[in-house]
Structure 1
Amino acid sequence: MKTKIIDWPTFIGAFFLLLAVTVPLILFPEQGQEVVLAAKDYMTKNFGVLFMLMGIGVFLFLIYVAFSKNGHVKLGDKDEKQEFGTFSWAAMLFCAGIGSSILYWGTIEWAYYYQSPPFGMEGGTKEAIQWASAYGIFHWGPIAWAIYTLPALPIAYFYYVRKKPVLKISEACRPLIGKRADGPIGTIIDVLFMFGLMGGAGTTLALGTPMIAQGISSLTGVEVTIGLKTVILVVCTVIFAVSAYTGLKKGIKVLSDINLWLAFFLLGFIFIFGPTRFIAETTTNSLGLLLDNFFHMSTWTEPFGNLGQFEETLFPESWTIFYWAWWLVYAPFVGLFIARISRGRTIRQMILGTIIYGTLGSILFFGIVGNFGMYMQMTGEFDVIGVLNNQGAPAAIISVMDQLPLAPLMIGIFTVLAIIFLATTFDSSSYILASVVQKQVEEEPLRWNRLFWAFALCLLPLTLMYLGGLGTLQTASIVGGFPLIIIMIMLAWSFMKASNADIKASEGYEPKTINLDSEKIHKRLKRKKKDDENDKDSRVG
């Protein structure tokens, strides 16, 4: 067993931090929940504007990079082909970034906005329903995918251009923190990222497992119990453990491809056999609202909601800020994964591809599945909101699927899709966690390392699920992910500093695709390091 290439301080630190948070929640669940929720409320109320500015800032920065000279840089050697075709690449990044959560919120999120709409509108009105359809696409649209993409820039650049065989957030910050990336500061950066990811993965579990259990219950008549949820978690763990063990090309790629085809079938069936005209018109109208109000929605903080007669529960804090924090927690993981699968593409292709394909996928789910449920509610054919408020979201989601023709078949496909979505997210997560705790990743992380994190991702949330503390872990991870705002700024700065220096030093690059000479870059960096050491010696002398 190879253990020398394992970065043990990061490995142990991440696992210890997760235990340090979960064990008190297990021993003192009520007190722990109060502390975590208070911290979350304090963070969103006092620093919410930072999350809003971070979201729109990241989006605008990436658009600039994509169309600048930096966007022409190719991730790999001059004649290197793309490692994955466009379909498989898009499938993997979408499945890793969204998971079964898209099935959950894509079906039911509109119902929350319809009852408690933004901009001070009255719930249950015609105006509220239009925004209810548009806001889900906004929260899962370009800004979400931009937040995901930013960490991929420096990581992919160092991995494929500067040929650093390390997939770490700390390594991507090296241009700014220098040798500190190899010390405690680098370890803290990586541990914070891993903690956020493990807590964020618990969110996906918290949403996906009850929904899958409800689907199985609808098909078989088996009552939804903690035992059924445990079986579901075990099955999903086995699926993604086997996939993680077989590797990136055989495991994650195959699962993602299957998942995307199943998703296309489900969406196509609902669109054709559902209210086709209503779905098309409502989705188009939602896109118009979004395009017309994008910057307003991106910067709306509802500043008067806490003042006297206007005091109320603030929509941005409950939804937009929470979502930006959630994407931020997942961003280093999804960015690492996007970087790993983007060999042979240019920076521009990676940025625009991720934002466009990710947003299109979200539009399809919210536009088709969400608007189908909305149609059932608006026409009175089925009271989705009544089921949601009385029986919970999982029951409402499966009930919406039950309104389709060939309902048992479609519920079956929906449930299988949710299982594979859950598996692919954890599959990708365990792959990246294993990569982060290794000092180098030539091809793929060690198998035992991948399997360890695959089961670690499942066992701790499973324990909390029995104790009813899974939602608290999710909130704790988002609070713990607050420092990632600073790390995101560092990542953007690091990429620009490194790529600008290399482009300036290179000669005779092609105007459409900049193929930087990795060997020349290595020699220049080595020479610079030697000059710095000589300069330091002369000053000491």
Structure 2
Amino acid sequence: MNRKFIDWPTFIAAFILLLAVVIPLVIYPEAGTEFVNKLNDFVSGNFGFLYLVMGLGIFFFLIFVAFSQNGHVKLGEKGEKPEFGTASWAGMLFSAGIGSSILYWATIEWAFYYQGPPFGIDPNEQQLEAIQWASTYGIFHWGPIAWAIYTLPAIPMAYFFYVRKTPVIKISETLRPLLGKNSDTVLGRIIDVLFIFGLLGGAGTTLALGTPLITTGVTDIFPLEDTMLLRTIILLSVTAIFGISSYLGLKEGIKRLSDFNLILAVFLLIFVFVTGPTLFIAETTTNSIGLILDNFFHMSTWTEPLANIEGFNETGFPESWTVFYWAWWLVYAPFVGLFIARISRGRTIRQVIVGTIIYGSLGCILFFGIMGNFGLYLQLTGSFDVVSVLNEQGAPVAIISIINQLPLARFMVIVFVILSIVFLATTFDSSSYILASVTQKEVENGEPERWNRLFWAFTLCILPLTLMFLGGLSTLQTASIVGGFPLIFIMFLLAWSFMRASTGDLKADDKFRPKTVVLDYKSIREKIRLRRLRKKEKKNPKNNDEE
């Protein structure tokens, strides 16, 4: 155990802040829920539009970076090949980015939109429009903007770690071009602690959603009762799995679990597509992609502006869904960005941006297109009333009931539960790995301390236990919106810091050509020093002659 590498002020402050939030919520659950709801009303009511502007802005900023000279910079040494193959790289970033939440929402999200469609559509009088948007909006929420939000932090972090060779992976270090020496002060620690707390909050939401789903699947397979005790046991079991994976490290644990996860996910999707209503799934998914392309800007900026005017009905759709999702991605963005940065050695910035957005979006299209439209087909044909089960028994029961409509139902429920566990584990082994990295002064040999990884693996389950105790999807959504608000400004600073650092380095590199560029930062610093010296000589030629 090498304690000298641990950043103890950041480590302790993050843990104390977590306890300071969790303990009052456990002691005063009703008052805690009320307080969080009031914060949500204030943030979403007054600043919801900021989340939407941020999402669209990040997407177009990254497109610009990818096809600018900055996008040609290679994250590594000249001639160095990518550390991971494309399939493993895509599998790891996808698993880290979406977790078991994709199984939860891809299967059931359409049912919420079916009952409460966007744009003021009446589901009873405009049923066709409601059905089309029900199958479309999930793909939009989990599409290019979501993955762009994830990618933004990855670019500056990877740049500083692999190009500028900084020995630490931290938000404060990535902001050094803007903060200067303040990165080493209280301000830098506050930024790092806010990142850690945001990650713990986002992780809490995902674990608190995934655990009841796994529990419902387990009670469907075995004659057990769904209780808080069983959920706690399952949560701790999943925590042990991703704790072991994180302890083994990036290549031995996380990569292998992600590869297995990818194989199981592909099997599930192929099975549902082939044995389900194949033509309906293919046509409805294609139609949904067309709707998104036609309405991308409208969907990205719809704020329901007339909601507060008397005489107009307020649906609350943007705040409940689009703002919630952008906030959720925002809370996770620094963590997923750090992880993407860590696994992207040997690739260019352009490859990281385009690859993450395309592979991430494609994976989500497949899940929502296949799993979601299978459930929608059951509802429309009267084969199974998904909406009634959802409203009467809750989302986890409705999801497992949908899986039970497949051929070999018992076997597929087992596959679904295993996949849920592995998806959850692949997200949080990455989370604990990154949390350990952020709370260290240096990351020796690219790997944080093992005991540190294990500590954060089990710390991650504290907040989801609290959120499950409080209960209710609205509380989980509210926590994400409130927790993500400060990160809007940190994302802006990350983009600014990257452009200042990378553009300055490219200008200092006399050998820049419009193809893959390998920057030697030591050489760049020497060039900058010599240029400053020449400028000084031109200003004071007399002094130089005397010398």
So what's the TM-score if we normalise by structure 1? Answer: 0.96
Instruction: Within 5 Å, give how 1:205-216 maps onto structure 2.
Output: 205-216=207-218
Displacement of 1:433 in angstroms is 0.4
Aligned residue in 2 for 1:397 = 399
Deviation per CA, 1:261-309: give whole Å up to 9, x if none.
1000000000001000000000000000001100110011110012111
Q: Distance in 1 between matches of 2:531 and 2:478?
A: 45
Partner of 2:364: 362
- SS of residue matched to 1:310: coil
**Which residue is equivalent to 1:54?**
54
How far is the alpha carbon of 1:41 from its aligned partner? Answer: 1.4
The answer (yes or no) to whether the contact 1:461–1:470 under 8 Å persists in 2 is: no
Residue of structure 2 aligned with 1:456, choices 453, 456, 459: 459
Name 1:281's counterpart in structure 2.
283
Pairwise CA distance, 1:481: 2.5
Q: Give CA-to-partner distance per residue, 1:120-139, whole Å, 9 cap, x none.
A: 10125111010111100000
Contact persistence 2:195–2:334 (CA under 8 A): yes
**Counterpart mapping for 1:20-99 below 5 A:** 20-99=20-99
Which whole-Å CA distance do the structure 1 matches of 2:315 and 2:217 have between them?
33
Q: Output aligned runs, 1:451-530, within 5 Å.
A: 451-466=454-469, 468=471, 472=475, 475-524=478-527
* 1:478 to partner: Cα distance: 3.4
In the alignment, the residues of structure 1 paired with residue 473 and residue 238 of structure 2 have an alpha-carbon distance, to the nearest angstrom, of 17
In the alignment, the residues of structure 2 paired with residue 478 and residue 310 of structure 1 have an alpha-carbon distance, to the nearest angstrom, of 25
1:480 Cα offset (Å): 3.0
> Which whole-Å CA distance do the structure 1 matches of 2:265 and 2:353 have between them?
24
Label 1:471 to 1:528 Cα distance change in 2 as closer, same or farther (>3 A): farther
The range that moved more, 450-459 or 466-475, is 466-475
Distance change in 2, residues 1:321/1:474 (3 Å):
closer
TM-score, reference length from structure 2:
0.94
Q: Secondary structure at the match of 1:338?
A: helix
Mapped to 1, the partners of 2:217 and 2:23 lie a distance apart of 32
Corresponding residue for 1:433? 435
Shift of residue 477, structure 1, vs aligned partner: 4.9
Q: Distance in 2 between matches of 1:528 and 1:189?
A: 34
- Give the CA deviation at 1:476: 3.5
The structure 1 residue matched to 2:243, chosen from 220, 225, 241, is 241
CA contact (8 A) 2:43 2:481 kept: no
- For residues 464 and 101 of structure 1, do their structure 2 counterparts lie closer, same or farther at Cα, with a shift above 3 Å needed? closer
Task: Find the counterpart in structure 2 of residue 230 from structure 1.
Answer: 232
- Cα distance in structure 2, aligned partners of 1:220 and 1:185: 52
Q: In the alignment, is the contact (CA less than 8 A) between 1:10 and 1:187 conserved in 2?
A: yes
Q: Residue 2 of structure 1: CA displacement? A: 1.3
Equivalent pair of 1:267/1:368 in contact (CA under 8 Å): yes
CA distance in 1, matches of 2:148, 2:527: 32
Give the one of 385, 390, 413 matched to 1:411. 413
The root-mean-square deviation of aligned C-alpha atoms, in Å, is: 1.8
Alpha-carbon distance between aligned partners in 2 of 1:47 and 1:189, rounded to the nearest angstrom: 21
Q: How far, CA to CA, are the matches of 1:208 and 1:527 in structure 2?
A: 57
Q: What residue in structure 2 maps to residue 539 of structure 1? A: none
CA distance in 2 between partners of 1:208 and 1:530 (Å)? 59
- Between 1:471-480 and 1:388-397, the stretch displaced more is 471-480
Aligned to 1:112: 112
AA at the equivalent of 1:201: A
Q: 1:127 to 1:215 in 2, by over 3 A?
A: same
1:444 to 440, 444, 447: 447
Q: Count residues with an aligned counterpart.
A: 532
Counterpart of 2:369, as a letter, is G
Alpha carbons of structure 1 residues 434 and 89: separation in structure 2 relative to 1, 3 Å:
same
**Are residues 529 and 470 of structure 1, via their aligned partners in 2, closer, same or farther at CA, if it must alter by over 3 Å?**
farther
Conserved 8 A contact 1:73-1:514: yes
Q: Which residue of 1 aligns with 2:270?
A: 268
Alignment gaps of 5+ in structure 1: 533-541
Alpha-carbon spacing, 1:465–1:238, altered in 2? closer, same or farther (3 Å): same
Contact 2:147/2:357 (<8 A) preserved:
yes
CA spacing shift, 1:4–1:470, aligned 2, 3 Å: farther
Asked if the contact 2:302–2:318 (Cα under 8 Å) also holds between the matched residues in 1, the reply is yes
Query: Match for residue 535 of structure 1?
Result: none
Query: Whole-Å Cα distance in 1 between the matches of residues 299 and 166 of structure 2?
Result: 39
SS in 1 for 2:461: helix
SS in 2 for 1:234: helix
Task: Please give the alpha-carbon distance, in whole angstroms, between the structure 2 residues aligned to 1:166 and 1:364.
Answer: 36
1:459: Cα distance to partner? 3.3
1:522: Cα distance to partner? 4.1
Instruction: Report the CA distance between 1:523 and its aligned residue.
Output: 3.3
Deviation per CA, 1:190-235: give whole Å up to 9, x if none.
Answer: 1001101001101111110111111111111322112221221121
| SS class of match (1:332) | helix
Deviations 1:435-489 (A, max 9, x none): 0011111310000100110010113432553454897476335313211111111
Taking a change above 3 Å as real, the CA distance of residues 530 and 120 of structure 1, as seen in their structure-2 partners, is farther
* Structure-to-structure mapping, 1:365-384, within 5 angstroms: 365-384=367-386
Shift of 1:527: 7.5
Kept in 2: contact 1:279–1:372 (CA 8 A): yes
Measured in 2, the distance between the counterparts of 1:213 and 1:473 equals 18
**Number of the residue aligned with 1:128:** 130
Q: Which amino acid aligns with 1:117?
A: P
Q: 2:544: which partner in 1?
A: none
More off after superposition, 104-113 vs 307-316? 307-316
Q: In structure 2, how many angstroms separate the alpha carbons of the residues matched to 1:471 and 1:249?
A: 37
**8 Å contact 1:200–1:478 — kept in the other structure?**
no
**Does structure 1 retain, via aligned residues, the 8 Å contact 2:200–2:463?**
no
Q: Residues 186 and 528 of structure 1: is their aligned pair in 2 closer, same or farther, counting only changes over 3 Å?
A: farther
- Of residues 437-446 and 504-513 in structure 1, the stretch that sits farther from structure 2 once superposed is 504-513
Q: What does 1:249-260 correspond to in 2, within 5 Å?
A: 249-260=251-262
What are the superposed Cα offsets for residues 148-179 of structure 1, whole Å, 9 maximum, x if unpaired? 00001110000000000111011111111111
For 2:311, what is the secondary structure of its paired residue? helix
Give the gaps of 5 or more residues in structure 2: 536-547
Aligned in 2, Cα 1:206/1:136: closer, same or farther, shift over 3 Å? same
User: Aligned with 1:76: secondary structure?
Assistant: coil
